Amino acid sequence: MSFQASHILIAGRHILYDSGSAFDPGWFDAGERRRRGWPAEDAAAGRQRAEFFRAGGDEYLVKHYGRGGLPARLTEDRYLYIGWNRTRPFAEWRLLAALHRRGLPAPRPVAASFRRRGAAYTADLIVASCRPAQPLPALLRAAPLGEANWRAIGKTLRRFHDEGVWHADLNAHNVLVDKDATYVVLVDFDRSRIRRAANRWKRANIARLERSLDKLAAQFSALYFSRADFNALRDAYCGG
């Protein structure tokens, strides 16, 4: 899949978008989405605000970048500006475009934007919706996933790692699964990048996902997750 990256400035908003696909700058404005009658639905996205909306017969997800940890005590959504080409939404858009060119299952990037706020900026990103795939925790709270799905997750992670893709926040919430089609997609590539192959960071990525699942199991008494499930994932990742 090819992407035609174009950079425009509209009403103080810098936008990077794929000029070869459908896009309307009004998609970034919640009020404009309401006025134009684009149906919207809130989406769970951790510290970031996100919303599904429909336009032109297709569904998209718009997320507003939010801070986490200690920086969130100072500002909930502002980042230090060090050049438009190094902003977080533009970097994530470009990485997603690269992942699609490699045929990897990740959200299709539509447009990224930021607004200068003095020495800082606020940011947003629009991607094509990945539904009907759902976040892994939601599925595990409803029913057992099944060995085939766990193996599909392991094989998908291996595909990304074989391409040198390091996910900065590989937790269970960022693994989406279409249970019926045994389809897996990874989401939220903020701060992620393509790295030189090394077993150390690959093992750390897998360990991070495992800790995330263990944390969920401790948090929810009714979570359909067992050690055998993760063993199936790991076995498939290793080519077994």
Give the pLDDT score at 235. 98
- When pLDDT is averaged across residues 111-119 and rounded to a whole number, the result is 96
Give the pLDDT score at 42. 76
* pLDDT band at residue 55 using 50, 70 and 90 as cut-offs: very high
Which of 138, 122, 133 has the alpha carbon at shortest distance from 28? 122
Give the pLDDT score at 41. 79
Domain 134-237 fold is: Transferase(Phosphotransferase); domain 1 (1.10.510)
Q: Is 169 a catalytic residue?
A: yes
Q: Comparing 44 with 125, which gets the higher pLDDT? A: 125
Give 104-107's long-range contacts (Cβ < 8 A, gap of 24+): 104/159, 104/160, 104/163, 104/165, 105/156, 105/159, 105/183, 105/184, 105/185, 105/186, 106/185, 106/186, 106/187, 106/189, 107/61, 107/185, 107/187
What's the whole-model pTM score? Answer: 0.93
H helix intervals, 87-240: 88-101, 136-140, 147-162, 199-219, 227-237
Q: Residue 117: pLDDT above 80? A: yes
Could you read off the pLDDT of 129-148 as tens digits, one per residue?
Answer: 999 999 999 999 999 999 99
Specify the 3-state DSSP secondary structure of 20.
coil
Specify the 3-state DSSP secondary structure of 5.
strand
Domain extent listing, the chain: 5-128, 134-237
Q: Residue 30: pLDDT above 90? A: no
| Residue from 169, 178, 214, 235 carrying the catalytic annotation | 169
